[in-house]
Amino acid sequence: MYSKQRRVALVVGTRPECIKMAPVWLALRHSRSLSPILVSTGQHRQMLDQAFGVFGLKPDIDLGLMQQGQTLPDLTARVLTAMTTVLREHRPAAVLVQGDTTTVLGTALAAFYERIPIGHVEAGLRTYDFEAPWPEEMNRRLADPISRWCFAPTEWSAANLKAERTPGANIHVTGNTVVDALLWVREKLKRTGLTAAQVIERCQIPADFAARYLKDGPNNQSPITSNVTGASRWVLITGHRRESFGGGFENICHAIGQIAAKYPDVGLLYPVHLNPNVQEPVRRILGGNPRVALIPPVGYEDFIWLMDRCHFVLSDSGGVQEEAPSLGKPVLVMRTTTERPEGVDAGTCRLVGTSPDVIMREASALLDDEAEYARRSRLKNPYGDGTAAYRIAEILAKDLST
């Protein structure tokens, strides 16, 4: 046995970071030589707290940095300053960040200034366009060069790092921890069970939509254990990208309305992001459409449950591009470029941008062509096998013991 465990700080600020870092925390918790410290910047508050609850986590340190109407410069400065104080007080052996948020950039800079080695989970993703996604492309491209461990989810992301002359010893292909999280939640739902009635109530899904599209399976089983047939087809929608604010979101809303008009048997369920730049056009254009159910943002467990039941997903989310293939759900990606081309190459995802014509054409292909839908729903997930977190923990344990 090791006489003393070395501390590793895991820093998260948003719900996606929590979801993708939770499996790493769970893996490090079982390490003989390493001990995780969970730090929350609170970049996003409500949705982050909900994600902690899914995995039974509670931050060891909660900085609570979110402020109403916060700007990127202000938030970046607060993360850098607050994380510097935390690192000076606790002096972890390493700091882990995940993804491409302001929390990632500010924390990585703080650790670099304190000469503490950085591990970047989900390193190497690139669009090579600083405007899309903005500012996330810049955040991750600045974090990788100062990271001691670049945990690349795929060979494609590792190739990006190599092309940028990242030392080979710093690059580790691990798979994406989002698959670990998805499978963990899937098993949890199998054990605990989750009925349509529970999801409908928690997610505030309108009764008429629920009655038509959300039905429990045999013996009231969750579709996580057995996909349910017989219910009418419906589409799950998410959207929040800054680069689509304004005309882009208006186009997206018009496309959703066109799908509803062309396919009167198809439902559309849209958990609407809280950002006013999303809420305003969505409520204005789709609020009166009786076949589009607009609901508040949903929790992670409920979202997985819903994604497992929908026909396909229309989204601009990076995480959804990685999660949906594990559930056999095609994704129409409402972006013109993606830092996750593996799903596009595999055929599980299709870039559609925000053009109503393109969205309509690709949605029609999935709704009209059963053979095409079947082909794209059976493709293998290119983002991993659910063991990424343990690979990361093993690499850290080996390197920090020397």
**CA–centroid distance for 291 within its chain:** 27
Out of 126, 241, 273, 391, which one is annotated catalytic?
A: 273
Q: Count other C-beta atoms under 10 Å from residue 6's C-beta.
A: 16
Residue 216 tokens read as 């429990």
44 is catalytic: no
Q: What letter would DSSP give residue 380?
A: P
Q: Please state, in angstroms and as integers, the Cα–Cα distance from residue 241 to each residue in 343, 373, 391, following that order.
A: 19, 26, 31
Contact, 297 vs 182, CB < 8 A? no
Alpha helices in 263-325 (DSSP H): 276-286, 300-309, 318-323
Q: In the Cβ-directed half-sphere of 4, how many Cα atoms lie within 13 Å?
A: 4
Out of 100, 180, 323, 339, which one is annotated catalytic?
A: 100
Q: Measured between alpha carbons, how far apart are the two ends of the chain, in Å?
A: 16
Contact, 93 vs 6, CB < 8 A? yes
The rounded distance, in Å, linking the Cα atoms of 267 and 347 is 24
180 is catalytic: no
Contact, 375 vs 348, CB < 8 A? no
273 is catalytic: yes
Out of 114, 242, 372, 399, which one is annotated catalytic?
A: 242
Q: Which of 277, 273, 268 is nearest to 244 (CA)?
A: 277
The rounded distance, in Å, linking the Cα atoms of 13 and 64 is 9
62 is catalytic: no
Out of 17, 122, 137, 342, which one is annotated catalytic?
A: 122
**Residue 233, exposed/middle/buried by CB under 10 A (0-12, 13-18, 19+)?**
middle
120 is catalytic: no
CA atoms 333, 338, 342, 345: torsion sign: positive
Contact, 288 vs 254, CB < 8 A? no
Out of 136, 180, 316, 362, which one is annotated catalytic?
A: 136
Out of 49, 240, 254, 394, which one is annotated catalytic?
A: 240
242 is catalytic: yes
Catalytic residues: 100, 122, 136, 240, 242, 273
